[in-house]
Amino acid sequence: MKRTGFLYDERYLLHDTGSYHPEMPARLEAILSGIRESGLLARLVRIEAREADLKWIETVHESTYINRLKEACRAGVTTFGHPDNQMCGKTFDIALLAVGGILETLRLLMTGKIDNAFCAVRPPGHHAEKGEAMGFCYFNNVAIAARYLQADWGIDRVAIIDIDVHHGNGTQNIFEDDPSVLYYSFHEHPSFSFPGTGRSFETGRADGAGFTVNRPILPGQGDAEYLRLTETDLVPAMERFRPQVVIVSTGFDAHADDLMADIQLSTNGYSALMEKIVDAANRLANGRLISVLEGGYALSRLPELASNHVSVLLDERTEPVTGAKTGMTGGSEITN
């Protein structure tokens, strides 16, 4: 069994997006419920969220953007840049906690205290560009994580695998001229095609040409197309790149029951996809992988999707569970 870390903090629930917003606190409550009720929580290493130093945010985002977001939150503004980006006075601080928790997770990974991890954080991040919030995202969590690995741990090659059903325009925007980061994205196109980027001809530029790989998938293609591309395209791309650490932008919104998309990926399809990514990371990156939550809005499906996801990281399988209880008990804890 792997030593799998689990980053979760009740303070992530304080990012208030309003009564009807799909990126709601109940998403994390459903994820925690599924992991706990499946009996997996006690097998995980709990990780304490910490506020990120602004210097790490500045490795990715423009200082003027960071200041605008901070001032907007302090002023009680409830939308930022676009009506989709609902927030509250605590959003800036919670976004720092999300990044800080991920960086703490990476520290534990790089010091050998955990083998891999699932980071159940919010706000999500992959749509956030250098100077713009988009698609419920304010700080690009996975991009900052990659820069942290490079700056603090001397990592030369980071692979970011984006399985959210929407294209991670922010992550691509940040790394498209950088050959040290492989960005590979599965996403639906053309239906439900927010944000409208991620065409197959978008492959990076300048020194980063060839290190951005977009694989748009037509509606309704489901498991067969995802697994075909994983075996024939994603894994070979990882083998050529030979990442030292793998970061997965994990969106559960490609599921057949998620109203945000129409890909029709099944519960078992999600597990099979993650198994192949984990197997590749085991072979190529000494197993060093963290999964960071992005989208996923079908509250009835998130418990089983999250528990199955964690079971793959643990290298064991359990039956899917459902439930809606909250609270966190069990497991060991690393806080330093």
Q: How many domains does the chain have?
A: 1
332 within domain boundaries = no
- Structural domain range at position 228: 4-315
pLDDT of residue 1: 86
103 within domain boundaries = yes
Active-site annotation holder among 127, 187, 189, 309: 127
DSSP SS3 for 246: strand
Mean pLDDT for all residues in the chain: 93
**CATH number for the domain harbouring residue 126:** 3.40.800.20
326 within domain boundaries = no
11 within domain boundaries = yes
Phi then psi for 255, rounded to 5 degrees? -65, 150
In angstroms, rounded to a whole number, what is the distance separating the alpha carbons of residues 214 and 202? 7
Q: How confident is the model at residue 192 (pLDDT cuts 50, 70, 90)?
A: low
Is pLDDT of 39 > 80? yes
244 within domain boundaries = yes
Which tens digit of pLDDT belongs to each residue from 222-236?
Answer: 999 999 999 999 999
255 within domain boundaries = yes
DSSP SS3 for 218: coil
pLDDT of residue 190: 81
Nearest to 189 by CA among 213, 173, 165, 207: 165
pLDDT of residue 28: 98
Which tens digit of pLDDT belongs to each residue from 99-133?
Answer: 999 999 999 999 999 999 999 999 999 999 999 99
CB within 8 Å of 87: residues ≥ 6 apart: 15, 16, 17, 72, 73, 77, 78, 79, 80, 123, 138
Element holding 142 (H helix, E strand) = helix 141-153
329 within domain boundaries = no
327 within domain boundaries = no
Q: How confident is the model at residue 194 (pLDDT cuts 50, 70, 90)?
A: confident
Dihedral of alpha carbons 170, 302, 252, 275, sign: positive
Annotation says 127 is catalytic? yes
pLDDT of residue 330: 46
